[in-house]
Amino acid sequence: MLEQLFQFLVTGITVGSLYALVGLGFALIYNASDVVNFAQGEFVMLGAMTAISLVAAGFPLPLAAVVAILITIGVGLALERFAIEPSLGASVVTTIIITIGAAIVLRGVALLIWGKDFHALPAFSGDTPIHLGGATLLPQSLWVMGAAVLLVGLVRAFLNRTLLGKALLACSFNRAAAQLVGINVRVMLRLAYGLSAGLGAIAGILIAPITFSSYEAGIMLGLKGFCAAIIGGFGNPMGAVAGGLLLGVLEALGAGLISSGYKDAIVFVFVLMVLFFEPTGLFGHKSADRV
Amino acid sequence: MNARLRNTLLTLCLLAGLNLAHAADPIKIGSFLTVTGPASFLGDPELRTLQMVVEEINAKGGVLDRPIQLIHYDTGGNARDALNYVKRLIRSDKVDIIVGGTTSGDTLAVIPEVEKEGMPLISLAGAIEIIDPVKKWVFKVAHTDRMAAAKIYEDLNQRGLSKVALITGDGGFDKSGREQLRQLAPEYGIQIVADESYGNKDTDMTTQLTKIRASDAQALINFGFGQAPAIVTRNVKQLGIDLPLYQSHGVASKTFIDLAGPAAEGVRLPAAALVVAEELSDADPQKPVLLAYKNQYEAKHGPVSTFGGHAYDGIMIALAAIERAGGTDKAKVRDEIEKTQGFIGASGVFAMSPEDHMGLTLDAFKMVEVRDGAWTLVENAE
């Protein structure tokens, strides 16, 4: 039984770090613009699908990954430039709807390019499972977890330590004031979209060997990443990561100890409870009023 | 030329024109398939097959010297849309026969309508409810889930295994398969010792499999389609579960082997003969039909899928019935479909009757196993 429990936890953390990586991208754009970018899942899908195509075309994996990340960043920047920027003065809700539209467009384009089939990326360091006590995990899961830790640290350092990062945060607190002190809000927005597209692409490439990818893979991952961000508190990158891990572990324990049929229900009830009792998320800023 | 003569000539021309139009009056085949949406991997090859067959037959001069016109609507997997499109096919397009219904949900939704209107329908979906109990106007050409379940149990009996663990997804196909597996188990002396489920878009099933590992199951059955069965297959390997793994006919495609990779080795599943067309013995009557369809399809669209084979069977049975009926009188065509005997299709040799509106037997399924990254006939391997 203990052995089983250990496996559930390992599974939960593996899946959770997936969600965390996606949730991180949500938090970043929210930080810069107060907008929930519903095309985040599509960035994940684009990164994965592009890398898969490049590997299939004979590129070595590292090169394919870098090119795929760059292409996805390009798409993120284009999205910002041609869809978000023209509506800069619009309300947050309008912008969110624009991102939903962008997600549908990206999915449609992906469908035309790659068709409806699922595709897999080869695992970075083999498929031989690693035994940990009574539990097993795939080497790829370690890649995902390691990358999640590394990226979270980098994003955190960027936002808190660098001038650019602080400028990005300033835009989210008060756009007008940020502009008055000389921050170029447009550049910051582009930066946020480029960064989260890049983060999404990295997440997509890391998880493609485990989950496979198809043109609509972004929907589910986007949804789970969004849940992770809600649980952790929007706008708090660390919260999104904690939320993702919590979500993954909860899913695994729910399926393992209660019933696999109720797994998703347990998670959604949990998300609802969080929204009821801590509307700003478990790790969100307690008061959201801005001066 | 006086006015009267001119008018007469004109009338004659018009009449001739009408006559010509009448002679070439097309046979209208209606279709509603799931070409987009989650079940698109079923509907897409089906539509391509229908178009391919129609094009080929028209090039050869059509049926009964009449060209064939295909009228198709995409339901996107939405049963309500399916019903609307079928009403449109019947009332405004005035089709002669309907081939379609990619999913069981779509088909079941339109059955009351076609029964009421007296429109022959050949469904391409799997659920046994479509033809059991028998409906006057409804036929189907795809294997049922029940046959897949029975085939798996037969193989288990042969291997002397009796305790199985089920792991199924939350889709309609998965649930129906699970239901059939549970119903048939006592008949084959099979005991189900674990019954787990997962979401079809889940990315990890190790939790459910860990529970199964702790049970005393002798074999694993995973009923589902899409990427989830491939993830299950990989997770089984990852957890080091050394039990025979059975999949359903839902994953009988090269994509499954590509996704599951080396973990797919040794996986068995019941599949239509199309999957192993090259391997069949030359005496098998299906072999030439399968190879012809396969080569024709692959020359145009890439790897063939068994689901496209259902569309091939559906439209060929429909056209053969129209030819035998000598026209498109719906009641006559229906009777002729019911009399379909010995039609060699992609899914098997059909023998329909008033009691059986599918006409396939368990032999239509072949038990195949993944060996060296390819499907192999189990009977050949042993």
- Of all residues in chain B, the one with the smallest CA distance to A140 is B238
Show the domain range for A227.
10-121+138-277
- B171 vs B276 pLDDT, higher one: B276
Q: How confident is the model at residue B5 (pLDDT cuts 50, 70, 90)?
A: low
Residue A129 lies in a domain: no
Q: How high is the pLDDT of residue A284? A: 67
Q: Is the pLDDT of residue A286 over 70?
A: no
Q: Which residues pair with B219 in a beta bridge?
A: B164
Let me know if residue A264 belongs to a domain.
yes
Measured CB to CB, residues of chain B less than 8 Å from chain A are 40-41, 44, 170, 196-199, 201, 203-204, 206-208, 210-211, 214, 226-227, 230-231, 234, 237-240, 255, 258-259, 261-263
Side-chain half-sphere CA neighbours of A26 within 13 A: 31
* Sequence-separated (6 or more) residues with CB below 8 Å from residue B249: B143, B148, B269, B270, B271, B272, B306, B365
How distant is the Cα of B378 from the closest Cα of chain A, in angstroms?
A: 27
- A173 falls within a domain: yes
Q: Is B61 exposed, middle or buried (0-12, 13-18, 19+ CB in 10 A)?
A: exposed
* Residue B146 contacts residue B362 (beta carbons within 8 Å): no
How much is the average pLDDT of B336-343? 92
Chain B residues inside the 8 Å CB shell of A220? 201
- From chain B, pick out residues whose CB is under 8 angstroms from the CB of A255: 198, 207-208
Domain count, chain A: 1
Reported as a pLDDT band with limits 50, 70 and 90, residue B96 is: very high
Which CATH number does the domain housing residue A77 bear?
1.10.3470
Answer yes or no: is A50 within a domain: yes
Asked whether residue A167 is domain-assigned, the answer is yes
pLDDT in tens, A211-254: 888 888 888 888 888 888 888 887 777 888 889 999 999 988 88
Residues of B in contact with A6 (CB under 8 A): none
Q: What are phi and psi of A223, to 5 degrees?
A: -65, -45
Contact A8 B210 (CB under 8 A): yes
CB contact under 8 A, A260 and B197: yes
Q: What does the alpha-carbon distance between residue B13 and residue A286 come to, in Å, rounded to a whole number?
A: 86
A189 found inside a domain:
yes
Distance CA A114, CA A155 (A): 31
Enter the tokens of residue A145: 């977890």
The answer, yes or no, to whether residue B338 has pLDDT greater than 90, is yes
Looking at A208-212, B196-200, B231-235, B377-381, which range is the least confident one?
Answer: B377-381
Half-sphere exposure of B213 (CA within 13 A, CB side): 24
Sign, Cα dihedral of B260, B261, B266, B271? positive
pLDDT of residue A290 exceeding 60: no
Residues of B in contact with A132 (CB under 8 A): none
**Residue B161, helix vs strand vs coil:** coil
Q: What are the pLDDT digits (tens) for B122-154?
A: 999 888 889 988 999 999 999 888 899 999 999
A91: in domain: yes
Kindly report the length of chain B.
Answer: 382
> How much is the pLDDT for A287?
47
For chain B, domains (ranges, CATH) are 22-143+286-361 (3.40.50.2300), 146-278+365-381 (3.40.50.2300)
Structure tokens of A234? 């929007």
Write the DSSP symbol of residue A128.
Answer: P
The reply to whether A284 falls in a domain is no
